[in-house]
A and B are shown apart, each in its own frame.
Chain A
Amino acid sequence: DTGVSQDPRHKITKRGQNVTFRCDPISEHNRLYWYRQTLGQGPEFLTYFQNEAQLEKSRLLSDRFSAERPKGSFSTLEIQRTEQGDSAMYLCASLRGGGYEQYFGPGTRLTVT
């Protein structure tokens, strides 16, 4: 296992710009999760995929957010028209089919100025 990777690690953007993050899960992990974490808080669930199907979305995921997982491999999370409240750490995790333990990536730190 090479682990879960995320790119970029840090992103600074101006309010109103669009940003896209990428997550590469552990190979053959069929589930992929996105979480958001603000300072001093625990991560909060955003959405998850089983293979290429997006099965659940949190109410936190406004219509400015969209996530994809084409071909059931890597996933992208796009935020349109960023707001200062979007500043957070965006974490990705993957889970093997039939498994229980989620493995997290290093996260992408987004700062909206």
Chain B
Amino acid sequence: KQEVTQIPAALSVPEGENLVLNCSFTDSAIYNLQWFRQDPGKGLTSLLLIQSSQREQTSGRLNASLDKSSGRSTLYIAASQPGDSATYLCAVPLSGSRLTFGEGTQLTVNP
């Protein structure tokens, strides 16, 4: 059974700081991993999808890495801004592409 864990559960940083969010999964036989952002009371916004053949994927100030062999992915956020405050979720697909999610990291960026 695939289990996804995210550490830390919550993170508070001052504006401008670079930060790393961690995601680990127990079954390394994945074909991709997706990072999402969720604002309070809202749906999920896809940030990055990284294929198993890739090691990194970048979008603006965001960079996601994937190490299948160790069962880990990281989301790096550069020069954090208060608008980055949200919950960040990682997810891996199982059969039929249904997603298994971690519990998320709640990020607060203080001005």
The chain A residues found within 8 Å of chain B, CB to CB, are: 4, 6, 31, 33, 35, 40-45, 48, 50, 55-56, 89, 91, 93, 95, 100-107, 109
Contact = CB atoms under 8 A, between A and B. Distances in A.
Contact of A105 (B43, B93, B99): B43
B42 interface: yes
B101 A104 contact: no
Secondary structure of the A side of the interface? strand
A77 B4 CA distance: 26
Contact of A56 (B36, B91, B95): B95
Contact of B103 (A41, A100, A104): A41
A72 B30 CA distance: 28
Interface residues on B, range: 20 to 34
Interface of B: 4, 31-32, 34, 36, 41-46, 49, 51, 89, 91, 93, 95-104
29 contacts: A31-B96, A31-B97, A33-B98, A33-B99, A42-B4, A42-B102, A42-B103, A42-B104, A44-B101, A45-B98, A45-B99, A48-B97, A50-B96, A55-B96, A56-B96, A56-B98, A100-B31, A100-B49, A100-B51, A100-B93, A101-B34, A101-B46, A102-B34, A102-B46, A102-B97, A104-B44, A106-B43, A107-B42, A107-B43
